[in-house]
Structure 1
């Protein structure tokens, strides 16, 4: 129920922000009797495409806390929590960023994530399972990986890329629908085209097709991000510790993935990908590839 409410709240916020922005810009309908106005269409798609990503980005911490049940450590209540807060503060200082909020979420799978709309207002959280089963140096490496995400500005960059691909998916889907409509009008004796419902049916189908391609592009960047965060983690916590932490995560890939879909790209692992399609759309590279990349980088040094 909470995920449904969060989804509805996010989409209502997107519609509100986009509608107000379009009105302020004076953008009228992109369809008229004269045809399609590409400038208005592009503005329309850009506003709605970016609005969804930006609203999600600004709400990311709030949604993450509620979606995972993360409890932020305001005042450490035991030695483990104090060590966790102190370690994040040390890593953040070494990375040159403001110390993020630190939290623990109740999942038995070893996992962690970072989120937040900018590097000085972030959240780093680890699962209870990770704290229970990993050695301190491995937990520190996982935290360093997440701090790497924050320091690299990955949350903002991913939101911008998602917004851009959303824009072009919407734009080209409507161009395709317009071309189909014009083609049918030219072939019809009475000049009838798709009609209102037909037009939007074509838009939906085209958005699905273009959306699949766009998802592959976003997933490719997400996988690139993971290699970069692993390198940052190795720099902050040591290559050996980072490799051992990933090896420990690999041993748990058969456990059910308890991370919400909206946070999976920001988690340290997504589980094991097997098929070619899974690899193409996976937000994370295979753990074997990540371990191999770290070993090769350490060897070059």
Structure 2
């Protein structure tokens, strides 16, 4: 081999580009889902469908996304409200999306819920609500969108499925009077579900990569109460090896990476987004 061949370089200028891609983000009207949708649009997606249970929240999110100054000409966020905890609503969501596009390149199954209660007071209904939304709905959302994901997927350009887990599904979660037993169990389950989905698609010859993200503390409506019980955001930030909590850019960047060509050889992986806190002894 010649010296010239050893130093032959490739053009990586568009390695993180999502130019023209079509994405669906469940739980996309606020928090991590909304930040991720913003990242997807700014990275070049032509359509990003925003779905969550509340129509007004979806519309407000889409209005903000469509006002982004650096999205591509003609790119748009489209509101499709749906309750992901109900299979019939997932079917309706897919049908509504299919009215606008004949394929989906990226599915981010991000909708989720939590519940805190002491062990002796934890109810069946609370447990079921969290498990149904955080695990069962993820499986059926992926199942129902699979035909649209398969449509344009190829070895060179596979479709992507992302699932939102949590560090609570890897370490123990919040205990005590506001213990999150069902949340922790659901997030452990959905991380393993993502790995099984990744291998199932690979076994069937589908060019669909499935990965998950496991955030630590990101200030959000879901986590703010827990942050306050743990001593506040500033205390939590000081306890993190990174010296801060997660922010919007952190999750958007991770999602763009996993959905772009840069993440094209990542499959069945859980990307932990917590600044290294997971490796420290002790808990917040």
TM-score, normalised with respect to structure 1: 0.28
Higher strand share goes to which structure?
Answer: 2
TM-score, normalised with respect to structure 2: 0.30
